[in-house]
Amino acid sequence: MWGWFSVSCTSEGAARITLPTFQENPTEEQGVAVDLAQDLIQRLHSYLDGEAVSFADCPLDLRGLSSFAREVLAACRDIPYGEVRSYGQLARLVGSPRACRAVGRVMAQNPLPLIVPCHRVVGASGSLTGFGGGLELKRRLLALEGVDVDMLGHRKGD
C-alpha cells in the first residue's frame, strides 16, 4: 500500500501533489480542474501499479516560481522513466553548471512530485539523497521503475 496522495489543480494545470500519508484526506471537488485532477489520479494509480505512465502532456501551474525553478523542473520532467540524473547534470542542462545546490533546493520544494519526477535525481556518485517523502519512498519509486537502486552508489561521479 502506498498511502493517500493529494492532487490539486487549477484552470492552468496541476498545481500540487502531496506525497503519501496513511491518513485519509478526502477529495474536494471544486472548479473547472476536476477533470484534470481525476485524470491525474487515474494516472497515479496506474503508475503506482507499475505501469510506465507519462505525465508529459499534463499542464502545470507553476505560477509563483522563479524562472530558474521552472527551468530546473522542466529539465527534471524530461528524465525518462527508469533513469536517473544527478543534481550536477540538471545544473548543466539549465546552463548553470555550478548550481548543484540551487538545483537541490528546487527539487526539495518541487510542488508536483511524480509529475516532475524529483525522485529520479540522485547525488553525483549515484547515492540516494534528499526526498520530501523520505529516502525509503524514493528507493521504492525507483525500484518500481526498474532502477537497480543497489547499484546506483557505484556510478562514477559527474
Task: Tell me the pTM.
Answer: 0.80
Strand 13-21 vs strand 4-10: parallel, antiparallel, or unpaired?
antiparallel
Q: Where in the chain is the domain with CATH 1.10.10.10?
A: 67-152
Give Cα 31 to chain centroid, integer Å: 25
CATH class of 67-152: mainly alpha
The answer to whether residue 118 is catalytic is: yes
**Which pLDDT value is given to residue 74?**
96
For residue range 72-125, what is the model confidence (pLDDT) as tens digits? 999 999 999 999 999 999 999 999 999 999 999 999 999 999 999 999 999 988
Residues 6+ apart with CB under 8 A from 19: 5, 113, 132, 133, 137
**Which pLDDT value is given to residue 28?**
52
Distance, CA of 13 to CA of 36 (rounded, Å): 7
Task: Return the C-alpha cell found at 50.
Answer: 507499475
